[in-house]
Amino acid sequence: MNRGYAGFYKDFYLRSSYEYAYAVYLDHHSIPWSYEDKIYDIGFKKYKPDFFFYDQYGNVEKIVEIKSRDSQAKKDAQHCLKTIENMYNIGQKIIKKSF
């Protein structure tokens, strides 16, 4: 799979051009974010989501995973994110390339 850009943006090593574009979008809209902050034990594996958003008290409020066109990767990510949402009561979203 060709992910295009992979490299540093600010102090974060982003693994794809999709992640890079999302980080730039968030910064352009002054939305505070962090990248790959935590690893969650979700029973059947350990999972490290891409983007983290925190509330005013420093608690994880939402996590976002960026995926390309790989349908199996999207299904796996959705399952993992739903498990995190249920286990840890954290909002989640998957952003996927649809074309």
| 38-56: b (≥16 Cβ within 10 Å) or e | eebebeeeebebbbbbeee
pLDDT in tens, 23-69: 999 999 999 999 999 999 999 999 999 999 999 999 999 999 998 77
Rounded Cα–Cα distance for residues 41 and 71 (Å): 23
Neighbours of 3 (CB within 10 A): 13
The pLDDT, as a whole number, for residue 12 is 93
In the predicted structure, residue 91 carries a pLDDT above the cut 90: yes
Copy the structure tokens of residue 48. Answer: 């490290």
